[in-house]
Structure 1
Amino acid sequence: MDIESRLHELGISLPHDVAAAARYTPAVVHGNLAYISGQLPREGEAVYVVGKVGRDVSIEEAKRASRIALIRTLAALRDALGSLDRMEQVLRLVVYVNSVDDFTEFSSVVDGASELIFDLLGQQRGQHARTSIGGVKLPRNAVVEIEATFALYPTS
């Protein structure tokens, strides 16, 4: 399956040049694994959804933000590899959710990213491990931040 064609079918355009916001690299490829640094729900330089879930942001808005952050994650992988052709599977997502103290519905927020993975890769290849964590603050007051680990097809 051509991942970029599938993204196009889903009406998704990956942003170009997902640059680091500080002194780190957005993606590290080591052997057949790729590690993607935390990505915010940014469109250009602006963070698309800011604030705390449970006070400023609804679960649906936060869910949409996790989807946008995953799109940036895929863009960082594409930038590191030149294309998404080597992406075999998303192995693991770690999602930080900016929320009020008594908010506990982290899984509902993270479903925005997971649903996109299943839409993109299908039920079998879309299986992934994930962790969702509530946080007091995230960079730029973003509502979510996603880091990911990908399995890559070997180069020939």
Structure 2
Amino acid sequence: MHIEKKLEALGLTLPPPPPRGGLYKSCKLFGTNLAYVSGCGCIIDGPVAGKLGIDFTLEEGQEHAKNAMLNVLSVLKAEIGDLDRVKSCVKILVFVASADDFYDQPAVANGATKLLGELFGEEIGIPSRSAVGMNVLPGNLPVEIEAMFELCD
């Protein structure tokens, strides 16, 4: 099944690629068939601001991570034209704006990783990853994700 059909089966659609927040490329192709997607926030349907452990629950954080990954995939698709070109989801880095006593950043990141697994399957879709707590993120976002993908020829 094609990735777009899998998104549809999950009741999801890719949002338009989010606007850049500065002077950088949203997606950079490099090496042999590698794509790096700059950090994408979790805004899809209107403003989202705050921290995990204060303003948002773990479950809400997982939803924010899923939304950030949808933005990542939207940026990737805009660059490469077709998400079926993804050979491997190599690595993601998940930034979580966190209260001082919130320690579940990896569980928040599961919202993004689960989506990749559902779309691409475990072998291709489950990346290596890091999940880190931050004092603040740009625009007071709760979650931001950057990613690296290997592409088919």
Give the TM-score of the pair, scaled to structure 1: 0.92
- 1:20 aligns to what? 20
Q: In structure 2, what residue type is equivalent to 1:134?
A: G
Provide closer, same or farther for how the CA distance between residues 17 and 59 of structure 1 changes in structure 2, counting only shifts above 3 A: closer
Mapped to 2, the partners of 1:102 and 1:17 lie a distance apart of 33
Question: 2:29 matched to which residue of 1?
Answer: 29
Query: Structure 1 vs Structure 2: percent identity of aligned residues?
Result: 36
**Unaligned 5+ runs, structure 1:** none
Structure-2 separation of matches of 1:92 and 1:16: 22
Alignment of 1:132-147 (within 5 A): 132-147=131-146
Structure 2, unmatched stretches of 5+, are none
Structure 1 residue 4 corresponds to structure 2 residue 4 = yes
Q: Residue 51 of structure 2 contacts residue 99 of structure 2 at CA under 8 Å; is this kept in 1?
A: yes
Distance 2:3 2:149 in 1: 14
How far apart are the structure 1 equivalents of 2:52 and 2:19?
27
Residue 89 of structure 1, CA deviation: 1.5
Q: Residue 60 of structure 2: SS of its match in structure 1?
A: helix
> Distance between the aligned counterparts of 1:75 and 1:88, measured in 2?
16
- Cα RMSD (Å): 1.3
Q: Which runs of 4+ in 1 moved over 4 A?
A: none
Q: Are the aligned partners of 1:14 and 1:75 in contact in 2 as well (CA < 8 Å)?
A: yes
Question: Is 1:108 paired with 2:113?
Answer: no
Deviation at 1:23, TM superposition (A): 1.0
Contact 1:18 1:79 in 2 (8 A): no
2:99 matches 1:96: no
Cα distance between partner residues in 2 of 1:17 and 1:108: 25
Amino acid at match of 1:70: M
Deviation readout 1:52-91 (Å, 9 max, x if unpaired): 1111111111110000000000000000112213111210
